[in-house]
Structure 1
Amino acid sequence: MPLGLRRGTVTAVVEALDCLVRLEVDGIPCVAYPRLTGEVEVGDEVLVNEQARQLELGSGGFDILYANLTRGIGLEAEEGAHVMALPYTPGQVALRRAEEDGELPAALGGVPVVLCTLHSQVVPVCAALAGLRVAYVQVAGGALPVSLSDAVRVLKERGLVGVAVAVAPCLDGDVDCVTSAAAFAWAVREGYDAVVCAVGPGIAGTGSALGHGALALADAANVAGALGG
């Protein structure tokens, strides 16, 4: 199925955060990721992806800003970035990866890695770990942009999560990694006491035993065990 894009005009900015903007395009709810598509203001001419909303999916109650034709053309890549996220897709973008910033430990040294098969489990798990320095690691299986999660944002504000790490193809975290192994090792190198790993909100499901986004946590479990977590 091809991309479901439409052209429209921003008619309202409902909430503007550093990493997420909730807006309306021609009166229809939409979200934008300003670190990826640039700033957005009322009156901007934009392209939005409306496919999930048109299909009436559980995660499709709003459109996604695909490109800002008014102020999002010619944006420069992140300084020093050369590894592509979403490579060879229409949305590919260069991001700097944590693996590029020095050596990572070869083992986790017993640091616990807690796996959440639903994004809604992240809040109670992090609450139970209060007092520890916790790194949140997001893997594929639900929403890819870490910045979509209000839960993670509130956990960071309350000091229950110290950093949010995106593992490719996830993106737009405080830190971006190519692999979960690197994400776990990075958290250990940076002195975190525990890692909470989950899929993002809006988990993918097909109604079959094997076609469920939470199975990504099986891979994460294997990685954590192999590295001594």
Structure 2
Amino acid sequence: MISKKLGIVEEIIDKSENLDDIRVNVNGEIQKAYNYPKMTGAVNVGDEVVLNTTAVELSLGTGGYHFVISNLNNIESSFTPGGHIMKLRYTPFQIKVDSVEEQESSYHSVIDNFESLYDMPVVVGTLHSMLTPFVASYKRNYPNKKLVYIMTDGAALPIYLSKNVETLKNKNLIDYTITIGNAFGGDFECVNIYTALITAKEVLKADAVFVSMGPGIAGTGTKYGFTGIEQGPILDAVKKLGGTPIAIPRISFSDKRDRHRGISHHSITVFNDIVNVSVNIPITVYDEDCMAVIKNQIENNNLNHKHNVVYINNGKTKEDLDYFNLRVKSMGRSYEQDKEFFQAASTAAYYLMEVCNDRRKNY
């Protein structure tokens, strides 16, 4: 289940309080590794480290790096005071966090006395790469509105792995982050999506929320065997708490896999079989050929009867990204190589603006 090797730290490429990008000598070969200093302590050149080499040996894409399990030259550490909720429970790496909703938290009564999200818009994606185009379009048009990102545990668990989050936070485009379930490292920690949404509304006073997993996704080519299926229960939670659920459809005309052409089978499964409530699905107005495929998928699956499908003209995605000097990539493809995918996420921001202005467009 796990492959481990010893390595010697040869070089530290980049170092921060959250993530170290290092090069290690493994049996005479220099390889890339990550170290989470808050979990495994600081590393220095020459240190002998125990590495989890599983992902590299499996030739994975996202997550295809070695990760430091332990630094044999810096073994002991102590935890910071406060908090008693455990994440990564009952594993050798279980960590203690100070969750918003626990009894000793100053926010406990706020969470306990919650009434409603009062139509707060919540945009739910399936891939982490949807975050940046959405944020760029939202913040360019609403620079003073407060945007909160909730990261689920559907993929990467430490938020520190996300360069997207680091960049967006450094540019002040995300106001706060919340990590839920076994994901950790956000500005605020919560036990589940319900308390995270309440925290975003009542504690952080968010104007809008974006929810998605961290970097990485698991898929099996089967109808239900993918981590993005979490989009359905999250949308249900938004509606249950009185929010406005907005779903980003996964759309691509560059993916070589036919099941992901147009609206991905992942999205169709969620919208057809998983989500239990009617949600808002913004669809970008693409060129005629693309629209023919998408409209056929929508009609064949009766999505326009189950949900509020709204067509939005949006030709500003690239302009919004360039405005903040942001670069995007998904499944190894850049904006130019898969523009429909990134436009779909950006269009959710433009739909959200329509909601705020109480207007609708029809195609």
Matched, 1:54 2:63: no
Q: CA deviation at 1:60?
A: 4.2
Map of 1:201 onto structure 2: 215
Question: Of the candidates 164, 167, 182, which is equivalent to residue 169 of structure 1?
Answer: 182
Contact 1:205/1:212, CA 8 A, preserved across alignment = yes
Map of 1:126 onto structure 2: 135
Deviation per CA, 1:8-67, whole angstroms, max 9, x where unpaired?
A: 211111011221111012121001111222222111221110001001112243101111
- Using the size of structure 2 for normalisation, the TM-score is 0.60
Matched, 1:96 2:95: no
Map of 1:45 onto structure 2: 48
1:221 and 1:28 mapped to 2: Cα distance?
41
Structure with greater proportional helix content: 2
Structure 2: any 5+ residue segments left out of the alignment? 244-363
Aligned letter for 1:82?
A: H
Map of 2:23 onto structure 1: 24
1:198 is paired with a residue of what secondary structure? strand
1:142 and 1:106 mapped to 2: Cα distance?
31
- Using the size of structure 1 for normalisation, the TM-score is 0.94
Q: CA deviation at 1:68?
A: 1.6
Larger radius of gyration: 2
Deviation per CA, 1:77-134, whole angstroms, max 9, x where unpaired?
A: 2311322111111221111111122222342122111111111110111112212211
Map of 2:293 onto structure 1: none
2:232 and 2:80 mapped to 1: Cα distance?
32
Contact 2:48/2:71, CA 8 A, preserved across alignment = yes
Question: Of the candidates 207, 232, 250, which is equivalent to residue 218 of structure 1?
Answer: 232
The structure showing larger relative contact order (alpha-carbon pairs under 8 Å, at least 6 residues apart) is 1
Map of 2:286 onto structure 1: none
Map of 1:6 onto structure 2: 5
2:234 is paired with a residue of what secondary structure? helix
Q: CA deviation at 1:211?
A: 1.1
1:12 and 1:6 mapped to 2: Cα distance?
18
2:51 and 2:83 mapped to 1: Cα distance?
26
Corresponding pairs, count: 227
Contact 2:4/2:54, CA 8 A, preserved across alignment = yes
State the identity as a percent.
34
Choose 49-58 or 28-37, whichever is displaced more. Answer: 28-37
2:154 and 2:220 mapped to 1: Cα distance?
12
Map of 1:63 onto structure 2: 66
